[in-house]
Amino acid sequence: MNDPLLQVRDLKVAYGGIHAIKGIHLQVGQGELVALIGSNGAGKTTTLKTLAGLLHPAGGQIHFDGNSLHNVAAHQRAALGIALVPEGRGVFARMTVAENLLMGAYSRSGKHEIATDLDRMYGLFPRLAERKDQLAGTLSGGEQQMVAMARALMSKPRLLMLDEPSMGLAPLMVQKIFDTIREIAALGMSILLVEQNAKLALHVAQRGYVMESGAITLSGAAGELLGSDAVKRAYLGG
């Protein structure tokens, strides 16, 4: 595996008296696509929110590019290159597609470079080029997912975290979204993918972690997890 860009050791997160994350270890290498799979309520979204700085851990360590993220605020993590595409997309409904994408570059300077990256996003997501002047709130769920992903990429992240990108989408749109995830990964982007559709996630990932009740119960190469009897029984309907 490549040198870890993200390294998580013994991460614990608690809500009141409930231990949502129970001392997990995971890492994402430079240019690696890693899947975090598990059933609803396993703690996957809580993990991503904690890595993004939106939730405070009760214990453990998070290192990004060798540096501790302890006491590093969410906006500072974004500036370091950590981007989260949240569950539910979170687009700015009353702004156009183009305005949404430019919001992703709000902390950047250099108009020419931003304009170049905007064109790159339209190349990656042709559907958005057709709808760039349309209000994001009027788009389909799949198109909004594309806006959310493109907006995150406009921040020029080093680590892209995707939370349930296939949720609520028609099968054809799910395929389009995952084709784009493959394309982004092929460009060398480090990706941590949280996804309930375990089969899809493990088919695009290099490695995976299985999460149950706030704990990592299995990890390994994606192909090994796809072939695992435990994973098949729990997540693949086998």
**Over the stretch 132-146, which tens digit does the pLDDT of each residue have?**
999 999 999 999 999
Kindly tell me if the per-residue pLDDT of 220 is higher than 80. Answer: yes
Tokens linked to 55: 């939730």
The stretches of the chain forming alpha helices (DSSP H) are 44-52, 74-80, 97-103, 111-124, 126-130, 141-153, 171-186, 198-204, 222-227, 229-231
Contact (CB, 8 A) for 231 and 218:
yes
Alpha carbon distance 112, 168 (integer Å): 36
Kindly tell me if the per-residue pLDDT of 193 is higher than 80. Answer: yes
Ordered domains of the chain (ranges, CATH) = 1-81+160-165+193-238 (3.40.50.300)
Alpha carbon distance 21, 13 (integer Å): 5
pLDDT in tens, 38-57: 988 899 999 999 999 999 99
Kindly tell me if the per-residue pLDDT of 238 is higher than 70. Answer: no
Average pLDDT over residues 101-120: 90
pLDDT in tens, 19-31: 999 999 999 999 9
